[in-house]
């Protein structure tokens, strides 16, 4: 089937198809575009909490009241040890993540040292997620060794104001475009299950198609007590999640679709496998920023059962 001439309304109507039929379509697209390999990435929260932004889903926002263990910026050696451990556990990428709008002053200089340390590890690619950086900061992280930068759009442009008001959707888009301008690959994804509509989810995928990121992390809201979105467990079910993965694959045939936050709490083990069949070909292994994730051994076992290889 050729989906290149589909309108937004056509993509929305795909949700009405039976799940098995959608998975078959998206699985065929994935097999045509990619080998049976799944990229593995691990992250570290190098600075946790006290974020000035008011994103409603986030436990780290100082506007919210989630009970998390906050800490200032870690030292370089701690981050390097974590990167080496991630490599031993099968990750080929390691992402340095900091809370807040963007690191400044001495913190930014320390982050540059972290990047150099991780980038020096043979066989491990250095990524970063550092917020709304300036163009000069982006040039510096590129020189230090960042190959791919994560900056999610999170939701649709229309729904963004329902999730965050301290920065705009266009602020995020501008950051992604500046990253790409300076030769850094973009890792840009979404969070689904925050009360958005099917139209919003299709709008997210279409916005991402315009940005053309290398990797698209798909997060599933893990409602955290103390955030405005606690109690949102029923905003999306497992079938809707899987259909959304299929539609993202149909709209974004060239992107690595990554299982990110929330998948172990929002999808059963069997449905996690279906997500792989539907087009997921990248996984975040280990823990996330403030919640627990999957063990690399469990992911390797799941992928082996599907004749897939973690790289």
> In this structure, what CATH number is given to the domain that contains residue 54?
3.20.20.70
pLDDT of residue 1: 78
pLDDT of residue 290: 43
Element (H, E) at 128: strand 125-129
Residue range of the domain that includes 108 = 8-310
Q: Rounded CA gap, 232 and 236, in Å? A: 8
Per residue of the chain (311 residues), give pLDDT as tens.
Answer: 789 899 999 999 999 999 999 999 999 999 999 999 999 999 999 999 889 999 999 999 999 888 888 999 999 999 999 999 999 989 999 999 999 999 999 999 999 999 999 999 999 999 999 999 999 999 999 999 999 999 999 999 999 999 999 999 999 999 999 999 999 999 999 999 999 999 999 999 999 999 999 999 999 999 999 999 999 999 999 999 999 999 999 999 999 999 999 999 999 999 999 999 999 999 998 754 544 456 778 888 999 999 999 99
Nearest partner of 141 among 185, 173, 98, 111, judged by Cα = 111
In a domain, 195, yes or no: yes
Q: Rounded CA gap, 2 and 168, in Å? A: 34
Domain count, the chain: 1
Cα–Cα distance list, 143 to 63, 109, 116, 138, 146 (Å): 34, 13, 9, 9, 7
Max intra-chain CA distance, the chain: 54
pLDDT of residue 65: 87
In a domain, 1, yes or no: no
pLDDT of residue 139: 98
In a domain, 3, yes or no: no
Nearest partner of 263 among 235, 242, 232, judged by Cα = 242
* H helical segments located in the chain: 8-13, 19-33, 76-88, 105-119, 135-144, 160-163, 169-181, 198-211, 238-251, 263-266, 269-278, 296-305
- The values of phi and psi at residue 22, to 5°, are -65, -40
Is the distance from CB of 55 to CB of 290 less than 8 angstroms? Answer: no
In a domain, 216, yes or no: yes
In a domain, 58, yes or no: yes
């Amino acid at each position: 089937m050729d989906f290149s001439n589909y309108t937004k309304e056509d993509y929305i109507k795909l949700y009405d198809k039976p799940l098995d039929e959608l998975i078959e379509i998206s699985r065929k697209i994935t097999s045509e575009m990619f080998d049976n390999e799944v990229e593995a990435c691990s992250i570290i929260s190098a600075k946790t909490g006290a974020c000035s932004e008011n994103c409603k889903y986030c436990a780290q926002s100082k506007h919210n009241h989630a009970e998390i263990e906050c800490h200032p910026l870690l030292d370089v050696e701690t981050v390097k040890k974590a990167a080496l451990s991630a490599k031993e556990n099968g990750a080929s990428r390691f992402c340095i993540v900091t809370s807040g709008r963007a690191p400044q002053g001495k913190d930014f200089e320390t982050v540059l040292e972290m990047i150099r340390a991780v980038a020096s590890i043979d066989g491990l690619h250095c990524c970063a997620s550092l917020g709304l950086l300036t163009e000069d900061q982006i040039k510096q992280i590129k020189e230090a060794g960042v190959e791919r930068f994560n900056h999610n759009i999170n939701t649709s442009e229309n729904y963004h104001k329902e999730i965050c008001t301290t920065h705009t959707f266009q602020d995020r888009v501008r950051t992604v475009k500046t990253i790409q301008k300076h030769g850094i690959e973009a890792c840009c994804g979404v969070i689904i299950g925050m009360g958005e509509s099917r139209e919003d989810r299709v709008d997210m995928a279409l916005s991402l198609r315009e940005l053309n990121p290398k990797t698209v992390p798909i997060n599933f809201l893990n409602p955290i007590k103390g955030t405005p979105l606690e109690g949102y467990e029923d905003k999306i079910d497992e079938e809707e999640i899987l259909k959304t993965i299929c539609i993202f694959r149909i709209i974004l045939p060239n992107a690595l679709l990554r299982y990110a936050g929330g998948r172990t709490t929002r999808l059963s083990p069997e449905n996690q496998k279906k997500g792989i069949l539907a087009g997921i070909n990248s996984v975040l292994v280990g823990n996330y920023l403030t919640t627990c994730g999957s063990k690399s051994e469990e992911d390797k076992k799941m992928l082996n059962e599907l004749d897939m290889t973690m790289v």
